[in-house]
Structure 1
Amino acid sequence: MANRTPVVFIHGLWLHASCWDAWTRRFFVGGFEPVAPGWPGEPDTVGEARQRAAAIDGVGVDDVVSHYADIVRSFETAPVLIGHSLGGLIVQRLLGMNLGRGAVAIASAPIEGVELPSPYADFCVKFPALSHPENIARSPEITLEQFRYAFANAVSEDEAASLFDRYTMPSPGRTLFEAAFTHSSRNSRSSVDTGNAGRGPLLLISGQEDCLVPDAITRAAYKLYGDSRAITGLKQFVDRGHSMIIDSGWRTIADYTLGWLNHMGVRGEPSSADRPPVVDQAIG
């Protein structure tokens, strides 16, 4: 395993670390050494996480960043970072800190400097957990109806219900509030060093049917990296929603990611499973 490049997968709000199980198997076959550690205090299974929601009470964005920074620093070889939703924001923060060999941010939560389109802002304001300030100290659950709207709008109702049962868990209210309202804060938790010219390559991926993180947010983030000489790529998937890493189309996203890494010179051992992607756009 000594020749394998490590990959650290980071999930976002409402999903358990097990959401990456299929990805870790795919990346292992592709020659990488994948790991998908949970957030600070996150129980090992979805069932435990639902029963012990208080275990993650009070965890904030900076806590999550610090947690994964320690994990990334623990590797002898700099790992690739792959994050989804809030995890996409986390990997961008870490890469901007020169942690990680490269990163892929899938349907990433907005970084500082992105002007939020009104549908996203409206969703944050209307999201029930955000209407109760006391939830900042709790770990509220997501309902099937909310999951269907925010994550699984691009799949069938049956598939949405299956994904909800298999992967969802309560999430720390503090992280939720910080992610939703950080742009109005003086100490933004979404601040990323987009001008860092010495970082590794970054790929931003969006789904054009995503209701939680609309494609416009990803495109706006992509533009913010325009002043950096470091490589930044953008890939947009038609007819894909926020659940793209866990739904029936996950493999298309995973294989594109493997191909992009191969294209960037980050190859597994062996690399025969990789295939070169068509890079839609790239800066650098």
Structure 2
Amino acid sequence: MKTKNILFVTGAFVTHHCWDEWRVYFEARGYSTLAPAWPFKDASAAELRARQPHDIDLARLTLAELVDHFAGIAKSFPEKPIIIGHSLGGLITQILLNRDLAAAAVAIHSVPPQGIIPYEFSFLKSTWGALGLFTSLDETYLMPFDTWQYAFVNEMPLDEQQKAYDLLTSPESKRVARGGLTSAAAVDFDKPHAPLLLTSGSLDNIIPAHLNNRNYERYKKNGSVLEYKEFPGRNHHVLAQAGWESDADYVLDWIKNY
């Protein structure tokens, strides 16, 4: 019998409340869901922004610690859960899948694992500030609104862009961002794995579809279930962008048939 437990993994720059509507959607269809906060981010976006830039605990969080945090949660389920992650959460999802901790996995607009060099200009433009070069690693990074407009909510009306920023945008650890360039972000692309779906959006600037497709192409075609899907008209705010239900419908159908 396939598991009915879903673990949602949040990406960088936002709070775990980005999954609120997806949790309602899947729970209405018989699934049990969990969307835990990152360490030191279990608060509203406004509360977290009020700590900027002096949230030393969050600033010192590393990607390796973050992956282990979610690995521990995945192991706490009575059976392997379905793991669904967005953006950096998609990278963490791929790592947890590589550790054999998922019954199936969906990586939505995912940051690529180590070894896939993200040379796409829009990715570099969107993420350069988060690396915090020549700044203190003991201070958090908050994505400015103009970067948010370009990286997450491009092509959306201004009032919707501002509402999304106010509700979701939170400070981030520069150490976590830099961890994406290290072995903490590594996966074994040749290793057989549980079913994996990677999705992308045609309007996504921070994780452009071309980068997602290169991620997909790196996996060895070894008989493991592996699928890639690009959605037209989707930016990086896909979890709450108008029409998000069609993406959730596709993911649900894939989960049912993997």
Give yes or no for contact 1:97–1:193 (8 Å, CA) kept in 2.
no
- The answer as to 2:225 corresponding to 1:231 is yes
Where does residue 71 of structure 1 map in the other structure? 73
Q: Aligned-pair distance for 1:140?
A: 1.2
CA-based RMSD of the aligned residues comes to 1.8
Cα-to-partner distance string for 1:102-126 (whole Å, 9 max, x where unaligned):
100000001123232341464267x
How many angstroms apart in 2 are the aligned matches of 1:99 and 1:173?
27
Separation in structure 1 between the aligned mates of residue 130 and residue 90 of structure 2, nearest angstrom: 22
Q: With structure 2 as the length reference, what TM-score do the two structures score?
A: 0.92
SS of aligned partner of 1:64: helix
Secondary structure of 2:164's counterpart equals: helix
Q: Secondary structure at the match of 1:112?
A: coil
CA distance in structure 2 between the partners assigned to 1:115 and 1:100 by the alignment: 26
C-alpha contact (below 8 Å) 1:15/1:169 kept by paired residues: yes
Partner of 2:137, secondary structure, is helix
| Aligned CA distance change for structure 1 residues 67 and 233 (closer, same or farther; 3 Å) | same
How far apart, in 1, do the equivalents of 2:254 and 2:203 lie? 22
Cα distance, 1:217 vs structure 2: 0.9
Structure 1 unaligned spans of 5+: 265-284
Equivalence for 1:49: 48
1:37–1:121 CA distance, 2 compared to 1 (3 A) = closer
Aligned to 2:12, what secondary structure does the other structure show? coil
Q: 2:185 aligns with which of 179, 184, 190?
A: 190
Q: Give per-residue Cα distances to partners, 1:202-256, cap 9 Å, x unaligned.
A: 0000001111011111111111113332111111001211111122222111111
DSSP 3-state at the match of 1:260? helix
Q: Which amino acid in 1 is paired with 2:135?
A: E
Match of 2:194 among 196, 200, 209: 200
Note the C-alpha offset of 1:95: 0.2
Cross-structure match for 2:101: 99
What corresponds to 1:168 in structure 2? 169
Partners of 1:207 and 1:237 within 8 A in 2: yes
**Total equivalences in the alignment:** 254
* Contact 2:59-2:173 within 8 A present in 1 as well: yes
Deviations 1:137-179 (A, max 9, x none): 2211112111000000132222111111111111111112223
Correspondence for 1:221: 215
Deviation at 1:30? Answer: 1.2
Answer whether contact 2:153 2:237 (CA < 8 A) is retained: yes
SS at match of 2:30: coil
Distance in 2, matches of 1:247 and 1:143, equals: 20
Match status 1:148 vs 2:149? yes
Cα distance in 2 for residues equivalent to 1:45 and 1:34: 20
- 1:194: how far off? 1.8
Where 2:242 maps in the other structure, the secondary structure is: coil
Instruction: Measure, in 2, the Cα distance between the counterparts of 1:81 and 1:121.
Output: 24
Structure 1 residues 76 and 231, CA gap change in structure 2 (3 angstroms): same
Q: Structure 2: 5+ residue runs without aligned partners? A: none
Q: How does 1:262-273 map to 2 (within 5 A)?
A: 262-264=256-258
Asked whether the 8 Å contact 2:234–2:241 carries over to 1, the reply is no
Distance 1:155 1:192, change over 3 A: same
Counterpart residue number, 2:250: 256
Shift of 1:196: 1.8
